[in-house]
Amino acid sequence: MQKANRKYWWLFVLPTMAAFAIGFIIPFFYGIFLSFCKFTTVTDWKWIGLKNYTKILFVNGKLDTTFLHSLWYTSLFTLVTVLIINLAAFGIALLLTKGIRGTNIFRTVFFMPNLIGGIVLSYIWLMIFNAFLQKISQTIVSNQWNAFWGMVIVVCWQQIGYMMIIYVAGIQNISADLIEAAKIDGANSWQVLRNVTIPMLRPTITICSFLTLTNGFKLFDQNLALTGGNPAKQSQLLALNIYDTMYGTNGWQGVGQAKAVIFFILVAVIALIQNRLTTSKEVEQ
């Protein structure tokens, strides 16, 4: 049996591997290849080397800051949302594991925004924001900071519930013995939180911060529906910037593709660093 397994493992891997190759590996490498090409449709390309990559920063011999702007704008957006979402989700999770009445209803209510699609959600929020901003004669796209905070609110509103569920699961997983032991040793609730709950929650924190981080960088739907990158591409997050380059500028499909490759490398590197950082703080149960 063992021997047969060792001999025929490839046969068992094949279906999954084929699906993985078709669905991910081939498009991925094909995409990287296309970033060095000029193309109109993906089957019709011409090799042009690094030209696409230089066009990301230099347009008509001048520095073009659109991509750089959306890079730092996205980074700031991600930073803010990661902090708010995780802190709020953790706080709510703590409250909803204390056994207060109606816990299940609250959990459901907090989770619900997550069930609505990003586009629909953003259009609804768009109306809400504009109705309020109208009072001070502004709109969500009057300037990039209106757009920024608008997106932060929508994304937080949507994701806090989801992360909360993960935190709730993590908190419930902590053995009651540990907390009881700490209490017998005379720890107050703050000390329990700091020295028992949080250290035990490290794996959960890793997951949640990873999810919120990548979600922040990859955000597209809400950006498109809420601001559409207005005013003047100032509120374009990276994903929308890539999309806009790909379809908005004639003959720039390759440049869009090159941006996408850079985008991938960036997200991968940041996610790896984050994973390493938070994982190193995890404790053995």
Partner 1 sequence: MKANRLFALGLSAAMAVGMLAGCGSSASSATSTASAAEASSTAAKSTGKGKVYMLNFKPETDQAWQNLAKDYKKETGVEVNVLTAADGQYATTLQSEMAKSDAPTIFNIGNTTAAQQWNDYTYDLKDSDLYKHLSNKDLAINYDGKVAGVANCYESYGIIYNKAIIKSYGKLDKAVVKSADEITSLDTLEKVADDIQNRIDEVNTQLADDGSDYQITEAFASAGLDDGSSWRFSGHLVNMPLYYEFKDAGLEDLTAGQAEVTGKYLDNYKRVWDMYVRDSAADAKTLNSGALNAESEFGNGEAVFYQNGDWEYSALTDEENGYLVTSDDIDMMPIYFGVDDENEALCVGTENHWAVNSKASEDDINASLEFLNWVITSDEGRKAVTEKMGLTAPFDTFTGDFQTKNVFAQTSQKLQDDGKKIVDWSFNATPNVDDWRADFVSALTAYTDGSGDWDAVKTAFTDGWANQWKLAQEASAES
Q: Where are the beta strands (DSSP E) in the chain?
A: 37-39, 45-47, 58-59, 62-63
Among 142, 73, 119, CA closest to 220: 119
5 binds partner 1 (CB under 8 A): no
Start-to-end C-alpha separation, the chain: 35
31 binds partner 1 (CB under 8 A): no
Among 43, 38, 63, CA closest to 258: 38
Pick one of 233, 238, 242, 256: the residue that binds partner 1 (CB under 8 A): 233
Opening angle at CA 180, ends 176 and 182, nearest 5: 120
76 binds partner 1 (CB under 8 A): no
**Nearest residue (CB) to partner 1, 6 versus 101:** 6
What minimum distance in Å lies between the beta carbon of 265 and partner 1?
20
Residues 243 to 272: which contact partner 1 by CB under 8 A? 247-253
13 binds partner 1 (CB under 8 A): yes
What is d(CA 246, CA 220) in angstroms, rounded to the nearest whole number? Answer: 14
What is d(CA 279, CA 229) in angstroms, rounded to the nearest whole number? Answer: 35
Pick one of 43, 104, 280, 285: the residue that binds partner 1 (CB under 8 A): 43
Size of the site for partner 1 (CB under 8 A): 48
What does the CA dihedral 219, 125, 227, 235 come to, rounded to 10 degrees?
-60
140 binds partner 1 (CB under 8 A): yes
What minimum distance in Å lies between the beta carbon of 18 and partner 1?
6
Could you list the residues that contact partner 1 (CB under 8 A)? 9-10, 13, 17-18, 20-22, 25-26, 29, 38, 40-44, 46, 48, 51, 59-60, 126-127, 130, 133-134, 137-143, 228-234, 247-253
